[in-house]
Structure 1
């Protein structure tokens, strides 16, 4: 009786061992490495030098209540939004659907408004019919600094840079990073979209048709264009002439 029991246990043990070998290739690989010293040990190395990610792809880091106006006339108010400046994508949070989020089709958006916790508004718009050779820029979003007959626009984008710390010629930068890429544009009534710098010369070149009247105004107002407010002041004056 005891012999039969021992034989039965040995048989079951062999069956389990055989099943493990045939269904778990990880075990086989581990055993093969241990049994064959020439193949080397199974070692996983973790590079602890990586420092993670600096910066964010988003204009504002947290979900912000805002408004969205679609090109077909529909409007959504008081909805949680995030603007991904890296992908130029507007993301909508859907709390009633388990807090999942969706990217709103950019082509359907006319404008959207974000308001930060301090109450500062950010009104963005798209200008798909603007006359600009750079299709990627034209297809994105622009923050409206001033809008009259002429508009002063700010493009807020993000640039991603990968960590670079491996190899003999690395820059020893141990983190991925997102950084701001800011540019300014003037949109005229004929839909000409011109990239500018916030400088006296660049702005006068963009509004050269009224340069003679704008030059003395700049001097009178002592505009240095070190701030966006100076640029807004000049574009307002351009519209008034």
Structure 2
């Protein structure tokens, strides 16, 4: 992969005509993006991937998708891909520049193919941050997956060992639960799962036991969330 630069101006891209089907007024869009600090001409991050094995992307190729902003503005047919490692939504301009949205807080969600990437708050230690999560089930209780990619530094040659290039290594998804509009909570263990629920505790405990619910199993977590939402 060649060296790329992450964004600067989403608005200029919009004006090229790629969003011919978008439901927004251009003047309002200009005012909106300027007021929300879309950064122009600023290099946010530069990463050389030419000598790195693996991929930081959820899917390497760009796929036409839709961006929904927190102001309910919708941009259709945008070539998008999600950079897991940087937690950034990238898009491709008609002249094939690869850019990323400079103010992700204005994005409510991005729909790419069959996947919905929701930009939501989540608990991280004693803090609340925001990131993209893949929506699996939406309801009173929602279930999200968080893809993870680890960067492994290159290793020099040693006795009886060949040198190893830098690598992006994909790890299993982590699962998060979210009640209504509260911050999402990571569920790593069965203890986390049991401690998450403040209501229907006896029913939930029985369901977890009877159905052998495990936090690392996507299908089992979906069963649990669907059950909770039926109560």
**Shared fold, TM over 0.5:** yes
CA–CA distance in 1 between the matches of 2:161 and 2:193?
38
Decide whether the 8 Å contact of 1:126 with 1:142 is kept in 2: yes
**C-alpha separation between the residues in 2 aligned to 1:234 and 1:70?**
30
Which whole-Å CA distance do the structure 2 matches of 1:123 and 1:216 have between them?
Answer: 31
Q: Which protein has greater RCO, CA pairs closer than 8 Å, 6+ apart?
A: 2
Find the aligned partners of 1:155 and 1:134 in 2 and give their Cα distance: 19
Q: Which residue of 1 aligns with 2:68?
A: 69
Aligned-pair distance for 1:134? 6.3
Question: Quick check: 1:151–1:186 contact (8 Å CA) kept in 2?
Answer: yes
8 Å contact kept, 1:55–1:179: yes
| Residue 233 (structure 1) aligns with | 223
Matched, 1:59 2:49: no
Structure with greater helix share of residues: 1
Say how many residue pairs are matched: 180
Q: CA deviation at 1:169?
A: 7.7
Compared with structure 1, are the counterparts of its residues 169 and 112 closer, same or farther at alpha carbon in structure 2 (3 Å cutoff)?
farther
Are the aligned partners of 1:88 and 1:157 in contact in 2 as well (CA < 8 Å)? Answer: no
Question: Which 5+ residue runs of structure 1 have no aligned equivalent?
Answer: 1-50, 116-120
CA contact (8 A) 1:186 1:196 kept: yes
Task: Judging by fraction of residues, say which structure has more strand.
Answer: 2
CA contact (8 A) 2:139 2:180 kept: no
Please say which structure displays the higher CA radius of gyration: 1
Matches within 5 A, 1:194-209: 194-197=185-188, 200-209=190-199
Relative distance call for 1:78 and 1:170 in structure 2 (3 A) is farther
- Alignment RMSD, CA only? 2.7
Task: Verify the 8 A CA contact 1:164 1:170 in the aligned structure 2.
Answer: no
1:123 to 116, 131, 134: 116
1:148 correspondence with 2:139: yes
Helix, strand or coil for the counterpart of 2:199? Answer: helix
CA shift digits 1:63-104 (9 cap, x unpaired): 111111112221111221111111111111111xx2223211
The more displaced of 99-108 and 62-71 is: 99-108
- The answer as to whether partners of 1:125 and 1:142 remain within 8 angstroms in 2 is yes
Taking a change above 3 Å as real, the CA distance of residues 52 and 102 of structure 1, as seen in their structure-2 partners, is: closer
Structure 2: which 5+ residue stretches go unaligned?
1-49
Aligned to 1:114: 112
Cα distance, 1:206 vs structure 2: 1.6
The TM-score with structure 2 as length reference comes to: 0.67
Is the alpha carbon distance of 1:214 and 1:125 closer, same or farther for their aligned partners in structure 2, counting shifts above 3 Å?
same
How far apart, CA to CA, are the structure 2 residues paired with 1:172 and 1:134? Answer: 42
Looking at structure 1, the residues matched to 119 and 229 of structure 2 have their Cα atoms a distance apart, in angstroms, of 21
Distance in structure 1 (CA, Å) of the matches to 2:146 and 2:214: 21
Aligned to 1:103: 100
